[in-house]
């Protein structure tokens, strides 16, 4: 099948400008890019006044399969991604059981291939069972296709263990993306044990004595401290390190310093940490309960400035669906916010529209940079490449309504928010999978939408 996209505004990442282009797709790939392309056998899509983004990429999602399919499945997560303009996602490994072996990784990748709506990659665990006690087989996980390594919501508390993870990650050329946060697991299962053994360990652990004086145990048991520790391990090993969901101004300082040193350190921020704070959580309730928690207005502004200055490389959603029944438990509600169907609109409304960044910068944050950092090789709009891109109407005004979401989750703190800018078409491998907010299961469904 041939599809011809006419008169879209292409964001050229090299010339740093917008230009009107046509894109001819044949099968899964881009055949031609230029102006005035004609093909009488092609289905024509009028993209006038629409922005042609490279396919959006979210490197931090939870699709809950296997083990918690009542919250989300790979199929429903893919639909939510396509509805939000995303052509590619990278899933977290905190499934049940966790993705800590090559067999489990291959199984989840196989399920995703069968669903096939968007490109799907998965991270794998740093430690077995995410227990922070013994490393997984990093070489075998890399060979099986892991996009990165993380214990998701749990930091790896042991210095020697994490240092060894960095050494192995460097050896096998795989990205480490640990979570620097005080999870419930960390507080309840690790922290108390470490408190009891701290003095004895510090006396006998020569490795700790070699650490900078500021990096004591107490200093790095929260987000900025873990980040500082892990950056030190980057200095020692040269391994690639991507910081998940940065939320504090102090964390930004460590990351900025590492970048100035030329270390292979990158970082992401979520829309909820950019555009919501602790005061909002009080009014919204459990649907704004998340870990790391919403911070102060000062942190909001620091994160936005870090995007402007380039300290933050990626916007990622940390899409974490829970059932309405779970989120109705008040103080006992689980942590997590969904974001795939709102992320682009929020960024356009609160970053681009006020002039903090331009559309090309946003394309780097939501496509070019995540593609490069995670080594996915799915980004970019070039002749001969797989046809993955997103058509965006920057003027479209819409109201967030969770009742219309494709995700099973409804835990969106932006419900009812009026936004400007929306994805109106998602193309994955030459196939139009979303048009005007509707998921298209087949090309026949797409053909029915053409006038």
- List, by residue number, the catalytic residues: 318
d(CA 166, CA 170): 6
d(CA 84, CA 428): 13
Q: Which is it for strands 241-243 and 43-46: parallel, antiparallel or unpaired?
A: unpaired
What residues have CB less than 8 Å from 339, skipping those under 6 apart? 270, 271, 272, 317, 318, 319, 412
Nearest Cα to 23, choosing from 375, 376, 425?
425
Which sign does the torsion angle of CA 114, 95, 125, 86 carry?
A: positive
Strand order in the sheet with 314-315: 241-243, 265-269, 314-315
Q: What is the dihedral of CA 102, 66, 269, 332, to 10 degrees?
A: -130
Nearest Cα to 225, choosing from 198, 199, 189, 254?
254
> Do 58 and 81 form a contact (C-beta atoms < 8 A)?
yes
> Do 51 and 359 form a contact (C-beta atoms < 8 A)?
yes
d(CA 407, CA 337): 12
Q: Which is it for strands 418-428 and 431-435: parallel, antiparallel or unpaired?
A: antiparallel
> Do 90 and 62 form a contact (C-beta atoms < 8 A)?
no
A 10 A CB-CB count for 365 gives: 24
Residue with tokens 């020692």: 236
- CA–CA distance from 113 to each of 29, 74, 107, 200, 380 (Å)? 18, 10, 10, 50, 22
């Amino acid at each position: 099948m041939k599809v011809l996209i006419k008169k879209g505004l292409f964001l050229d990442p090299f010339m740093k400008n917008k230009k009107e282009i046509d894109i001819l797709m044949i099968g899964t790939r881009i055949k031609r890019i230029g102006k005035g392309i004609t093909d009488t056998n092609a289905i024509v899509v009028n993209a006038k006044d629409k922005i042609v983004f490279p396919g959006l990429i979210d490197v931090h999602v939870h699709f809950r399969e296997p083990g918690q399919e009542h919250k989300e499945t790979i199929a429903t997560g893919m639909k939510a991604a396509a509805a939000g303009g995303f052509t590619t996602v990278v899933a977290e490994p905190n499934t049940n059981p966790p993705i800590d072996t090559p067999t489990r990784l291959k199984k989840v990748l196989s399920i995703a291939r069968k669903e096939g709506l968007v490109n799907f990659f998965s991270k794998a665990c740093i430690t077995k069972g995410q227990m922070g006690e013994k490393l997984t087989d990093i070489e075998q996980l890399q060979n099986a296709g892991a996009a990165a390594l993380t214990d998701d919501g749990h930091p790896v508390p042991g210095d020697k263990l994490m240092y060894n993870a960095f050494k192995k990650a460097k050896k096998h050329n795989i990205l480490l993306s640990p979570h620097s946060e005080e999870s419930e697991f960390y507080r309840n299962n690790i922290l108390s044990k470490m408190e009891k053994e701290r003095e004895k360990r510090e006396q006998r652990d020569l490795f700790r004595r070699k650490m900078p004086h500021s990096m004591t145990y107490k200093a790095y048991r929260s987000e900025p401290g873990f980040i500082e520790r892990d950056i030190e391990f980057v200095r020692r090993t040269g391994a690639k390190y991507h910081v998940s969901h940065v939320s504090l101004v102090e964390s930004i300082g460590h990351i900025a310093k590492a970048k100035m040193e030329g270390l292979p350190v990158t970082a992401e921020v979520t829309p909820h940490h950019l555009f919501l704070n602790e005061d909002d959580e009080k009014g919204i309730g459990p649907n704004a309960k998340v870990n790391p928690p919403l911070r102060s207005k000062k942190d909001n502004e620091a994160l936005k400035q870090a995007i402007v200055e380039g300290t933050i490389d990626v916007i990622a959603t940390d899409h974490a669906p829970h059932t309405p029944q779970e989120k109705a438990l008040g103080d006992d509600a689980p942590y997590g916010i969904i974001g795939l169907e709102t992320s682009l609109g929020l960024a356009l409304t609160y970053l681009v529209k006020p002039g903090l960044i331009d559309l090309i910068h946003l394309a780097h944050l939501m496509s070019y940079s995540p593609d490069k950092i995670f080594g996915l090789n799915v980004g970019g709009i070039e002749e001969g490449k797989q046809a993955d891109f997103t058509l965006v109407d920057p003027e479209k005004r819409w109201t967030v309504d969770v009742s219309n979401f494709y995700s099973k989750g409804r835990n969106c703190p932006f419900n009812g928010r009026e936004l400007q800018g929306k994805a109106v078409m998602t193309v994955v491998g030459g196939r139009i999978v979303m048009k005007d907010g509707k998921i298209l299961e087949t090309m026949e469904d797409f053909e029915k939408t053409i006038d």
